[in-house]
Structure 1
């Protein structure tokens, strides 16, 4: 009796303790839910985008080129929704997608683009016919910088998700989602009965809320404790938050695939991963496939198991039909559609690894590694996909052709290409090797190779900056030269043709790349003065003032060479290479803009004279083959470079809108048998011929005049002189004496240039 008298109070106390304990545990879980759910910031990869294509009347662009650009953006032909276009002859009607540009979010727009004669003739609103001043397409995604755990997702808002997708999700996964409180006893009973009848697990009783809790808060282990926590936390989640908030979180969290270490989470990323579409653009067959895959993303992977995926998709469509969510006709048409999955898996990180390396190097100066991997930054870069793809194709195909023509082992030659905008220094294309999709040694950034004669124009610029002593007509001696070095060795520079050419005009020495005349010029100018000039132009590496530097005995990367030629193309301004335009946060708010930075480092007059000589290089000098490799309407300026034993081949030059540098060589530094004109120039010409829109047309600076010169004497020519070379001069440096071949009255200096000069 005494034991019974104590048993009841003990049981009551135990029950009270259990209630208190459960209550405390529930409070603990509730606090955990609030802390994680409300403070949840998914680790989002940084998204790296190319430049946006801007369309305007008068722009040099063809319908085919615009279609290629739309293909890079995965536009579909034939529809009217965003991300679609129609072409009728020389007219394209398209519907752009919205994008958070640095100036603010720009919503989708419809526009009609009319072409004539290889240009944009007009931009119109297709509904009103009103003219549009500018149409900007959203930029192409070119790279992702992933969190270390490999989760890849693209956040979507519930209002951006098609109602059809939400409808399908609830039909397949949780029909009573809008009515239960996190746990659905009816669903559990229904699933248990179905599993009992089938003799195996064919249905699950978990609600969407429970699935979210499991993925969001818990481990995947299957234990009673975890199931208990799952149920309690689901009830708490429903108590704390609205159905819309829970559904949006589920749509962003659900696991839908794996690519190596990259995990595909959320419908936003899955729609791009499988269909290269935005989630708002999905149709019924695509929606049914995505929702059907939730049951088993690996088992129903449409790329690996298309038959299973097709069967599962059609089963989902049948469920929608049987539930009256879609009509039998719509279901039948959707069931007959192909899976529609893109053939190629979208690149996990980037198809342009060399360019991305340049971007990341700049970003690390301003952002922590964790910021780049987890904060969902939007990186807007300068890459022009049209130029990049042209540079890649030219390098690959030309290297294969060179190896075939010269009997070289396949894959022996390597190369690099850098293309920048002449007026801004923006890096439009950067190719680090012939295996363009592999992230390996980036020769454009890191291959320090002797540059040879591509450095000569800057020695000549140094000389021409002293017009009282040097002009393009100044006579240089291209005769044997022997220099005793500090170690007692004697250096005797040689011309590439192993001949000497006597007294030659300074311009001819550069046009034909005479080494001996160049060394004599450099010794008179002063090697240290030349080194100082290179530093002012932007070359940051240490240089030893040895005479061999005058012929390019200095190692530079293609990007560094490009930086020097950028100064000439811009008329004397230093424009550091710029790969990033702006950085936005995950909400599209601008964090930083990377503006144009320029500094005058050379006077425009001497620069103009050097450009005139480099244009002659492409007409009659070492790069004269450009005359038949490029369109007549595309005059350019440039310089070849070849190093000892034909180990390195260079070409650097510019048109009116682009600066390009190409290097060809071997990674083991062995001889290639190629010169700058035979190895690098053909690649450069193919790139520029395909993408340059503007020929060389330098503005004549004030104080520059053009004068006919007798090349035999360097004096002013006139009637009776043949041949004659027209050369530009700075005021006060025009030859005062007339050539013996000239008539008594030589022509006066002319401000105008000769007919062949593109400026």
Structure 2
């Protein structure tokens, strides 16, 4: 303490002398030092995370999918995992050590456990230390991106207590042995480093003190001029005068440049540890500490991924210093020297390939937070992204479009997947090239939706008392328009189909029947229904609206169909679960907002008709990809001249919307069934979708109906179909089916419809 007081007194005398000579310069530098170190020192990026993977016995999960998630989350594969962030895969089991992670409910500590898989299901989870069964555990979520300030820097801010002592001792032994004794400038250290470097034949010790390096890196440029060197010395003295050694050491550890992640500079040991080794700094081994400290001399020249031989040589030099300084003993030195470089194959990037999803997250956050808060306050954004769903979207969108465009020309696409029950956005693609930032078609491409609007027409009719067997006339219609030509819509097949029941008019997407129905119930009622479903903006009351001339983005379509999927409950789609501040305190939790906008009976009838669309209508080819027993509900959409191909549909747990088309608005050459629906099916088939089991309202009854005459019939009629009705509205003389029998017959009908495709 006395020695430190003497050093500080000496520094004060030196600064006083310099001030008499350089007065204004010293005052300016002194003000700069205080402003930077006593204000907000660094602009910390907001870190964005996927949803955590919840594991429990009975979960359907493939071993490779689990390993992919662990890799994405920065876990490293080891033979005997012991430290957080490690795992081992052994035949049908995994041994995993999770990391501490701050959830909105509080810090969840690291857990060491084994997980057993049989087939594609989790059968057991057992704690390694306790040998007790675990009913539920979470893998800490993957860091999928970040929002940075303009300086293009990435760092993970650490306190002095979080700096491992082995790292601190190694850093001082290599860079500044007299750190705790000098006053910012150490002439003896310069001479000692010169001698040591001459003896070793290479640079093993630096001449500048850590304080000088901090002054140079944090406050100055790297130009080699006498003026810059003079400023460096003055700032080093000012730092030592105003701040204690631990503050200077911590600032250095967080500021030091240690590599490049694309356009982002890696600063500080905390981020570098994650970037190069997928480990927290506290979990580094001696050879890894040696490598990081060695890189201070030249992060590019000693990058272990680009220059492994040079990196190994530099690491060996630092390990020798560690041994000579007593930081490690001889056996540990030899063991560390023999260790290969880390075998991580996937770089932990600060940027992201999930550009479209992050674009949506940023837009949502900008409604409540300032740009400088997003870029510089170190917030943690916990999102709803499901990496397994996102991976499937990215693979199948490009792969399927590649197969389709051989017949149709160059195509683009967009996909949105949400949780059917909660409205959480699980995956989003704004392009078939997920690694390229640019125009986000999922959010910004507003195109005519074609027949995707028709369920709104039919739901409005059901609200007015129509039934699924109400007869509709599918015949030519002319509608005069003041000041323009008379509108004469046509069916896609250019044919008229006469009288058809309501459910088949929707299932086969008959334009003429739809227009007649919409005009009969009134455009105002259809528009009101569409707006309650979630269609945004002002809707012009033109008859052509009934055939989908309204323009919407895939995300907006997803919002509209979410109301169908939830049985008439509107809930805003959301991509954010919660936001924490830099100290892990909860700033906001984004819960579900639910509003009932439709009576469940009408939506149940509509959803039953949309299931018929897949089992027997325009989307029946989907059953070649998704089993008919899954009872998918969906709707194809095709716009004029085959410009836009759409499909929106939902299973028991997921809703997805796919758009396929061309950016130049030329014809894509594919219908909704031949384009977007195929993409939809290829994505969903490998995501283990649950069968759709509609929640049946109590006032629903089922009856056998002849699909040709729409009259009541018996189950022995080969043209019979079981349909739901509001109690008391089934055709006269219809025999009402008990609930269980109706379900069984409905399932049998789905299976029969698929079988007919292969006969």
Return the TM-score normalized by structure 2.
0.90
Distance in 1 (CA, whole Å) between partners of 2:451 and 2:18 is 87
Distance in 2 (CA, whole Å) between partners of 1:589 and 1:154 is 17
1:83/1:281 contact within 8 Å kept: no
2:20 corresponds to: 21
Distance in 1 (CA, whole Å) between partners of 2:198 and 2:128 is 60
2:533 corresponds to: 537
Structure 2 residue 351 is the aligned partner of structure 1 residue 349: yes
Query: How far has the Cα of 1:344 moved from its partner?
Result: 5.7
Distance in 1 (CA, whole Å) between partners of 2:482 and 2:349 is 56
Distance in 2 (CA, whole Å) between partners of 1:19 and 1:378 is 45
Query: Counterpart of 1:754 in 2: which secondary structure?
Result: helix
Query: How far has the Cα of 1:68 moved from its partner?
Result: 1.9
Query: How far has the Cα of 1:689 moved from its partner?
Result: 1.2
1:656/1:696 contact within 8 Å kept: yes
2:360 corresponds to: 358
Distance in 1 (CA, whole Å) between partners of 2:248 and 2:294 is 20
Uncovered stretches (5+) of structure 2, i.e. residues with no partner: 1-13, 751-759
Change in Cα spacing, 1:341 to 1:748, as seen in structure 2 (3 Å) is closer
Structure 2 residue 743 is the aligned partner of structure 1 residue 748: no
Distance in 1 (CA, whole Å) between partners of 2:250 and 2:15 is 38
Distance in 2 (CA, whole Å) between partners of 1:627 and 1:135 is 35
2:386 corresponds to: 384
2:461 corresponds to: 463
Deviations 1:419-472 (A, max 9, x none): 0111111111110011111111111111111111111111111111122xx100
Q: Aligned Cα RMSD in Å?
A: 2.8
1:283 corresponds to: 285
Deviations 1:10-40 (A, max 9, x none): xxxxx99958837988888667655543434
2:45 corresponds to: 45
Structure 2 residue 700 is the aligned partner of structure 1 residue 704: yes
Change in Cα spacing, 1:165 to 1:509, as seen in structure 2 (3 Å) is same
Distance in 2 (CA, whole Å) between partners of 1:396 and 1:87 is 31
1:582 corresponds to: 578
Structure 1 segment 421-436 matched on structure 2, within 5 A = 421-436=419-434
Change in Cα spacing, 1:131 to 1:341, as seen in structure 2 (3 Å) is closer
Distance in 2 (CA, whole Å) between partners of 1:170 and 1:729 is 80
2:722/2:746 contact within 8 Å kept: no
2:7 corresponds to: none
Distance in 2 (CA, whole Å) between partners of 1:720 and 1:291 is 82
Which of 115, 125, 128 lines up with 2:130 in the alignment?
A: 128
Query: Counterpart of 2:96 in 1: which secondary structure?
Result: strand
1:493 corresponds to: 489
Query: How far has the Cα of 1:233 moved from its partner?
Result: 4.5
Distance in 2 (CA, whole Å) between partners of 1:296 and 1:279 is 20
Query: How far has the Cα of 1:563 moved from its partner?
Result: 0.8
Which of 71, 81, 85 lines up with 1:83 in the alignment?
A: 85
Change in Cα spacing, 1:588 to 1:22, as seen in structure 2 (3 Å) is farther
1:50/1:385 contact within 8 Å kept: yes
Deviations 1:235-283 (A, max 9, x none): 5544554443332221101111234542221011222333343323333
Distance in 2 (CA, whole Å) between partners of 1:578 and 1:450 is 24
Structure 1 segment 237-276 matched on structure 2, within 5 A = 237-238=239-240, 240-259=242-261, 261-276=263-278
Distance in 2 (CA, whole Å) between partners of 1:275 and 1:750 is 62
Query: Counterpart of 1:398 in 2: which secondary structure?
Result: helix
2:154/2:267 contact within 8 Å kept: yes
Deviations 1:44-102 (A, max 9, x none): 11111111111223322233322221121121222221111223333322110011111
Q: Does 565-574 or 259-268 show the bigger shift?
A: 259-268
Question: In the comparison of the two structures, how many residue pairs are matched?
Answer: 732
Structure 1 segment 182-581 matched on structure 2, within 5 A = 182-193=184-195, 204-224=206-226, 226-231=228-233, 233-235=235-237, 237-238=239-240, 240-259=242-261, 261-340=263-342, 342=344, 345-404=347-406, 406=407, 408-409=408-409, 412-467=410-465, 470-487=466-483, 489-581=485-577
Query: Counterpart of 1:716 in 2: which secondary structure?
Result: coil
Query: How far has the Cα of 1:512 moved from its partner?
Result: 1.1
Distance in 1 (CA, whole Å) between partners of 2:689 and 2:128 is 28
Change in Cα spacing, 1:607 to 1:227, as seen in structure 2 (3 Å) is same
Deviations 1:121-168 (A, max 9, x none): 333222222232321111111111111111211112333334332232
2:148/2:376 contact within 8 Å kept: yes
Query: Counterpart of 2:115 in 1: which secondary structure?
Result: strand
Distance in 1 (CA, whole Å) between partners of 2:375 and 2:124 is 42
Q: Does 186-195 or 497-506 show the bigger shift?
A: 186-195
1:73/1:139 contact within 8 Å kept: yes
2:666 corresponds to: 670
Distance in 2 (CA, whole Å) between partners of 1:301 and 1:168 is 19
Query: Counterpart of 1:462 in 2: which secondary structure?
Result: helix
Query: How far has the Cα of 1:557 moved from its partner?
Result: 0.7
Distance in 2 (CA, whole Å) between partners of 1:123 and 1:705 is 44
Query: How far has the Cα of 1:341 moved from its partner?
Result: 6.7
Distance in 1 (CA, whole Å) between partners of 2:469 and 2:155 is 64
Query: Counterpart of 2:123 in 1: which secondary structure?
Result: strand
Query: How far has the Cα of 1:302 moved from its partner?
Result: 3.5
1:152/1:263 contact within 8 Å kept: yes
Uncovered stretches (5+) of structure 1, i.e. residues with no partner: 1-14, 739-745
Query: Counterpart of 1:264 in 2: which secondary structure?
Result: strand
Q: Does 708-717 or 484-493 show the bigger shift?
A: 484-493
Deviations 1:726-756 (A, max 9, x none): 1111123222x23xxxxxxx52353443315
Return the TM-score normalized by structure 1.
0.90
Distance in 2 (CA, whole Å) between partners of 1:621 and 1:717 is 22
Q: Does 319-328 or 369-378 show the bigger shift?
A: 319-328
Change in Cα spacing, 1:676 to 1:243, as seen in structure 2 (3 Å) is same
Change in Cα spacing, 1:307 to 1:115, as seen in structure 2 (3 Å) is closer
Distance in 1 (CA, whole Å) between partners of 2:316 and 2:235 is 34
Q: Does 455-464 or 274-283 show the bigger shift?
A: 274-283
Query: Counterpart of 1:755 in 2: which secondary structure?
Result: helix
2:74/2:348 contact within 8 Å kept: no
Query: How far has the Cα of 1:493 moved from its partner?
Result: 2.1
Query: How far has the Cα of 1:298 moved from its partner?
Result: 2.8
Distance in 1 (CA, whole Å) between partners of 2:319 and 2:627 is 56
1:8 corresponds to: none
Query: How far has the Cα of 1:392 moved from its partner?
Result: 0.8
Query: How far has the Cα of 1:194 moved from its partner?
Result: 5.6
Structure 2 residue 58 is the aligned partner of structure 1 residue 58: yes
Distance in 1 (CA, whole Å) between partners of 2:648 and 2:214 is 57
Distance in 2 (CA, whole Å) between partners of 1:488 and 1:711 is 40
Structure 1 outlier segments of 4+, above 6 Å: 22-31, 195-202
2:11 corresponds to: none
1:636/1:653 contact within 8 Å kept: yes
1:60/1:693 contact within 8 Å kept: no
Change in Cα spacing, 1:458 to 1:293, as seen in structure 2 (3 Å) is same
Query: How far has the Cα of 1:536 moved from its partner?
Result: 1.5
Query: How far has the Cα of 1:644 moved from its partner?
Result: 1.5
Higher CA-based Rg: 1
1:3 corresponds to: none
